[in-house]
Structure 1
Amino acid sequence: MSATKQSVAFNIAKPVQFLALGFGSGLAPKAPGTFGTLAAIPLFLLASGLSPLVMAAVIVIMSVAGIYICGKAAEEVGVHDHPAIVWDEIVGYFITMFMVPVTIQTILVGFVLFRIFDILKPWPISLADKKLSGGFGIMFDDILAGIFALVIMHIIF
């Protein structure tokens, strides 16, 4: 069994793991990244009324905190970028939706675009995914996927 697919005992009672697991959404038995991105939607909707400057600050804080959160959770379970660690998907979705009008259509299109870039990992996302390690490595490929999706969102909408 590969290191990323192995059964790992997460402890959701630990705040860092609770956040890293996307409030538990990353524990879904299939497609944890998709469930992590789904968990981002209500959080994004709660934050969607913030000014662009405040939202940018929230995204930066979530990203920097995510380096620690994802790195620490991976270290605690001994698996780099375990699929259940989905804080990076939450941040990636927030980036995807930055300064995009909030409608049911944009929420769905943003979700699909982010998942496509996160799953397919076109260059340079694939390079970041392969070459970077630790919490920064876990976060950075999803930050790039979010940026790619954001650009497409702004072209479309």
Structure 2
Amino acid sequence: MRHNFSVVLATWFYSGLIPPIITKGWAGTWGTLFSLPFCYLVYWMTNGVTVLSGLLILGAVLFSVFFLSAWVVPMAAASMEGWIRRNRSHRPEGKIAFDQYEIVIDEVWGMLVTIWPMIVWQPDKWLLTLIIAFFLFRVFDGTKVWPASFFDGSRGWYAVMLDDFFAGLYASLLMIPIAIFL
């Protein structure tokens, strides 16, 4: 496997190469965990600014990560295909899967979607709120509530990102009262 820039970003600094916890369905746990410092950085950048400014900063970060993934996910998937075939014998020949469980930049994007209530309400207990966001996102990402399940079965880099967008959206809806009251 070539360790190029796309692999570093798509695996979120190689956190996606850590073996999954419990089952393959929970493979993104490490990527989600390693996204927390970045989520805190975004929260810190928006702390003390107006709500609109905070949402604009978060929107710019979300936009950047989404379109960066359009470049890094296909390149990383192609770069990692041989390595994955050697390490996982169940991969069929001839198909490059964009949603390899080693690719976790989608978890980073999903967590950024999850934390938008933190940007709006700026809870005092930000660490507790971030930990709750982590667990809520993992539950929704693992269960794949529709339409996340639709995109989870689709091909293409955008489908990789959209299933985690919906998991993050569901988690963020539960985060609203948590962010308000913590």
Superposition TM-score tier, normalisation by shorter sequence: 0.7 to 0.9
**Distance in 1 between the 2:129 and 2:74 partners?**
31
TM superposition shift of 1:75:
3.0
d(CA) in 1 for partners of 2:178 and 2:42?
22
Q: In structure 2, the residue corresponding to 1:29 is in which secondary structure? A: coil
**Alignment identity in percent?**
32
**SS at the partner of 2:174?**
helix
Mapped to 2, the partners of 1:74 and 1:97 lie a distance apart of 27
- 1:99 and 1:155 map into 2 onto residues whose CA distance is 9
* Runs of 4+ off more than 3 Å: none
Please name the residue that 1:19 is paired with: 9
Higher Cα radius of gyration: 2
| Alignment length (residue pairs) | 146
Match of 1:117 among 140, 154, 158: 140
Distance (Å, rounded) in 1 between the aligned partners of 2:132 and 2:59: 21
1:155 aligned partner, one-letter code: P
Task: State whether residues 109 and 165 of structure 2, in contact with CA within 8 Å, keep that contact through their aligned partners in structure 1.
Answer: yes
Gaps of 5+ in 2: 22-26, 47-53, 82-95
- Quote the RMSD (CA, aligned, Å): 1.5
Q: Structure 1 residue 52: deviation in Å?
A: 2.1
Distance in 1 between residues matched to 2:149 and 2:177, nearest whole Å:
23
Query: After superposition, what is the alpha-carbon deviation per residue over 1:74-133, rounded to whole angstroms, capped at 9, x for unaligned?
Result: 233233311010000011101100141351211111000100111100111101111x21
Could you tell me the TM-score, scaled by structure 2's length? 0.75
Contact 2:117/2:175 (CA < 8 Å) preserved in 1? no
Q: Using structure 1 for the length normalisation, give the TM-score.
A: 0.86
Deviation at 1:72, TM superposition (A): 2.3
Q: 2:98 aligns to what?
A: 80
Report the CA distance between 1:39 and its aligned residue.
0.9
Residue number in structure 1 paired with 2:155: 133
Which residue is 1:36 aligned to? 31
Structure 1: gaps spanning 5 or more residues:
1-9
In structure 2, what residue type is equivalent to 1:54? I
In structure 1, the partner of 2:51 is none
| Other-structure match for 2:167 | 145
SS where residue 63 of structure 2 aligns?
helix
